[in-house]
Homo-oligomer: A and B are copies of this chain.
Amino acid sequence: MAIELWDLAGAEPERRFSPYCWRVKLALRHKDLPFATIPWRFIEKDRIAFSGQGKVPVIRDGGKMVFDSWAIATYLEDAYPDRPSLFGGAGGRALGRFIVDWADAAVMGGVFPMIVADVHAHLDPDNQAYFRATREKILGKSLEEAQGDRDSRLAAFRATLTPLRRMLRHQPFLAGAEAAWPDYVVFSVFQWARCISAYRLLAEDDPVHAWRERLLDLFDGEARRAIGYAA
């Protein structure tokens, strides 16, 4: 039976923008495991109450339930050791955790206020109310104020990508010659933005842009074909 994945959706059921869900979808494709996604919205806590918490991604694989994208990645790696590796060994698994923390703190932390009103624009009214209340509490300002001066923060955001840009002088992917978990993690932040916002985060001559293009092409263009913008 295919693995089931509860996947965050916008007002349109096929707009799937969660970066954490994208990590899992690409990890499942990497492992070549069949899966079916189930659209889910922020306020539908009851529909994933079986997981004992209120966020996606959640997967059900036969009798096994796992939530949290990192927990899902390590579960898949251990449950399907004969499939292509997400981590490339113990060292890659350990640093794969650091990449999650770098992507979330440095990359997502920069992107979040630049697209937060665009996320809101793609939700239905009930989810908009939930999203606005919870995110404005985090931001300490309105979604529109946070996003309003994004141009002034773009150069600083691009500077946080310097380590990735420098690494790309040496190898085509974070995971080396081929993409794997660390690439999916960092890419998922750009894919989140792409699904929800026309804002151009990367200059076309940026090596990070070329790397993102390579990720968009993977798995028959899985990420490129997703409903979103061509930013």
A residues with CB within 8 A of B? 85, 87-99, 101-102, 104-106, 160, 162-164, 166-167, 170-171, 173-176, 180-182
Contacts and interface: CB of A to CB of B under 8 A. Distances in A.
6 contacts: A88-B92, A91-B181, A94-B171, A94-B174, A94-B182, A95-B175
Nearest to A166: B101
Candidate in A91, A101, A182 with the most chain B CB atoms within 10 angstroms: A91
A173 B102 CA distance: 15
Given A88-B89, A89-B89, A163 B94 contact: no
Contacts of A164: 98, 101
A177 B5 CA distance: 31
A167 B106 contact: no
A85 B95 contact: no
Q: How many copies does the complex hold?
A: 2
A188 to B, nearest CB: 16
A180 B98 CA distance: 14
Given A95-B96, A98-B163, 12 more contacts: A91-B91, A91-B96, A91-B175, A91-B176, A92-B94, A94-B174, A95-B95, A95-B99, A98-B164, A101-B164, A105-B162, A106-B163
A160 B160 CA distance: 10
A106 B162 contact: yes
Contacts of A106: 106, 160, 162-163
A34 B181 CA distance: 36
Given A106-B162, A106-B163, A91 B97 contact: no
Contacts of A95: 91-92, 95-96, 98-99, 174-175, 182
A163 B105 contact: yes
A191 to B, nearest CB: 19
Contacts of A171: 94, 97
Contacts of A92: 88-92, 94-95
